[in-house]
Amino acid sequence: MSDKKKEILDWVKVILAAVAISFILNNFVIVNAQVPTGSMENTVMTKDRVFANRLSYLFNDPQRGDIVVFPFPDDESVNYLKRIIGLPGDTVEIKDGKVYINNSKEPLKEDYLKEKPTGSYGPYKVPADSYFMMGDNRNISLDSRFWNHPFVKKEKILGKVVLRYYPSIKVLK
């Protein structure tokens, strides 16, 4: 085999390996998503690019406060990015912009909110194996409070957002 053919074959192998690795990562390990709206500001901004870990909930359940990617329950062709507020079995009620879980006297501590939220909603009883989602920019977020199907099933969660990589790198909690 000539040196030229061997070099071409080597390049083809590298390209095929890269395509295979990319396929496996994108379909089984990470979700690569772009933030379409300002509903999660200031945590992530419009047009930011994020990675979500598809393996986060393989052995653990989603937790309150996790930011996740999931198909929008009213149109599963569109992926949404929101924060988990209500867990399975919770009762979520919003009074004067403050979130109360299970009739607590104290509102949920939410130091990530962009501005003081307004409005009263609920109560919402979260079904088993489902989650109640809200955006961090509450006053403009179209979230579980407004959807026809207000809850996201665990198996529909595509991954937990762990990293913003564009326009700058930021580890998200």
Active site residue ranges = 39, 82
Q: Residue type for 142, please?
A: L
End-to-end CA distance of the chain: 54
- Which is nearest to 133 in space by CA: 75, 76, 71? 71
Q: Residue type for 133, please?
A: M
Q: Give the residues across from 149 on adjacent strands.
A: none
Do residues 54 and 159 touch, judged by C-beta distance below 8 A? yes
